[in-house]
Amino acid sequence: MKKLYGITVAMVTPMDKNEKPDLAAVADLTDKLIGRGVNCLYPCGTTGEMLKLTLAERKAVAETVIRTAAGRVNVFIHVGAANAAETLELALHAREAGADGVGIVTPQFFGCNPRELTNYYDEIADGLPEDFPIYLYGIPQCAANDISPEVAKDLYERHPNIVGIKYSFLDMDRTAAYLAVAPEFSVLHGCDRLMTSMLILGCDGTVSGVSGVVPEPFVKAYNAYMAGDLATAQVWQKAGYEICTILKHGSNMGYFKSGLEWRGVAGGHMRRPQLDLTEAENTALFSQLEAYFAKYQLERKL
Provide the CATH number for the domain around residue 21: 3.20.20.70
Say if 211 falls within a structural domain. Answer: yes
- Of the candidates 159, 153, 107, the one whose C-alpha atom is nearest the C-alpha of residue 134 is 159
**pTM for this structure?**
0.97
Name beta bridge partners: 207.
8
The per-residue pLDDT for range 38-94, each reduced to its tens digit, is 999 999 999 999 999 999 999 999 999 999 999 999 999 999 999 999 999 999 999
Say if 106 falls within a structural domain. Answer: yes
- Of the candidates 279, 221, 281, 218, the one whose C-alpha atom is nearest the C-alpha of residue 248 is 281
Q: Which long-range contacts (CB under 8 A, 24 or more apart) does 280-285 make?
A: 281/254, 282/258, 285/246, 285/255, 285/258, 285/259
Sorting pLDDT into bands at 50, 70 and 90, what band is 237?
very high
Q: Name 266's Cβ contacts closer than 8 Å, sequence gap at least 6.
A: 14, 22, 24, 25, 28, 29, 260
Residue 100 has pLDDT above 90, yes or no: yes
Say if 302 falls within a structural domain. Answer: no
3-class state of residue 90 by DSSP: helix
| 94 phi/psi in degrees, rounded to 5 | -60, -45
Sorting pLDDT into bands at 50, 70 and 90, what band is 161?
very high
Sorting pLDDT into bands at 50, 70 and 90, what band is 250?
confident
Which domain does 76 fall in, by range?
6-295
The per-residue pLDDT for range 23-40, each reduced to its tens digit, is 999 999 999 999 999 999
Question: What letter does residue 45 receive in the DSSP assignment?
Answer: S
59, amino acid identity: K
Say if 32 falls within a structural domain. Answer: yes
Catalytically active residues, by annotation: 137, 166
36, amino acid identity: R
Say if 1 falls within a structural domain. Answer: no
208-218 CB burial, b ≥16 within 10 A, e <16: bbbbbbbbbbb
Say if 301 falls within a structural domain. Answer: no
CA distance 185 to 164: 5
Mean pLDDT value across residues 172-179: 97
Residue 256 has pLDDT above 90, yes or no: yes
Instruction: Count structural domains, the chain.
Output: 1
| pLDDT given for residue 97 in this prediction | 98
